[in-house]
Structure 1
Amino acid sequence: MAAITVTLKQERETKNTMRFQEQVEDGQTPAIGQLYLQKSTYHQLGQPTVIVVTVAAE
Structure 2
Amino acid sequence: MDKLELVFKVERDTKNTRRYQEEASDGPPIIGTLYVQQWALRKLTGGDLPERLRVTVTVDK
Report the number of matched residues: 57
Alpha carbon RMSD of aligned pairs, Å?
Answer: 1.6
What are the within-5 Å matches in structure 2 for residues 1-58 of structure 1?
2-25=2-25, 28-44=27-43, 45=45, 46-58=48-60
Q: Which has the higher contact order (CA 8 A, sep 6+)?
A: 1
5+ unaligned residues in a row in structure 1: which ranges?
Answer: none
Give percent identity, aligned residues only: 37
TM-score when normalising by structure 1: 0.85
- 4+ residue runs of structure 1 moved beyond 3 angstroms? none
TM-score (norm 2): 0.81
